[in-house]
Homo-oligomer: A and B are copies of this chain.
Amino acid sequence: MTLAALKQAVLEANLATVRHGLVKATFGNASGIDRVSERIAIKPSGVPYEEMTADHMVITDLAGTTFDNRFRPSSDLDTHLVLYRAFPTIGAIIHTHSTYATIMAQARRPIPPLGTTHADYFHGTIPVTRDLTAEEITERYVEATGEVIAETVGSGDPLAIPAVLVAGHGPFVWGRDPEQAVLNAMILEEVAKMAWHGAALDAAPPPISQTLLDRHYLRKHGANATYGQ
């Protein structure tokens, strides 16, 4: 992939998060990686979305070295770097403060698979991280955020459940590429909204069975997927 194509895809992912109502003000950031050249493109810090162009996207390597000094990268860059190093199969990351996913992150409530909307995109419960320690926050906050996400995913397949809610903060979502990450961020917000409404009626709403979860997830993902043209 050319750097120009990567920057354009990352720009579009950033703009899509605003268009879909997932991001207000300058909250949120999207990045993408070309795994061949190991180059990352990420949103610049504090540039208003309405002025943002592909050229604003900041290019770094996996260690966070930037390749020109025109724009400073998102203040969450180090979280993205930790995740790209920890999860070699992912190609894009999106961070938002989307309303219902953030409500669940603030309430420290994981999102169980309550229906097939969830099962079509997330192959199990979307987890919440533990709280960061005072030392982690003070000494190395942004990296520690990435580390606690990686710790929460553990030995699981990051593409099978491509999101984690950071306690007291909000969601980080990823995918094979920027377009898929946007879709996952959108569906996460929808399933979080549904889960909140279920929890408000009923303290422990029933998750769907593993059989139904598999049926829906595997229809759209993996070697035996049958969905689409």
Contacts and interface: CB of A to CB of B under 8 A. Distances in A.
A46 to B, nearest CB: 3
Interface in A35-67: 44-47
Nearest to A47: B229
Given A187-B25, A206-B108, A212-B132, A75 B227 contact: yes
B168 A114 contact: yes
The interface centre, meaning the residue of A105, A186, A201 with most chain B CB atoms within 10 A of its CB, is: A201
A103 B211 contact: no
Interface string A62-77: 0000000001100100
A194 B137 contact: no
Contacts of A194: 99, 102-103, 106
A155 to B, nearest CB: 27
Interface residues of A, number: 59
A217 to B, nearest CB: 12
Copies assembled: 4
A115 interface: yes
A34 interface: no
A115 B105 contact: yes
Lowest 3 A-B CB distances belong to which pairs?
A46-B228, A168-B208, A106-B115
Interface of A: 24-25, 27, 44-47, 71-72, 75, 97, 99-100, 102-103, 105-109, 114-117, 120, 131-132, 134, 137-138, 141, 168-170, 183, 186-187, 190, 193-194, 196-202, 205-206, 208-209, 211-212, 215, 219, 226-229
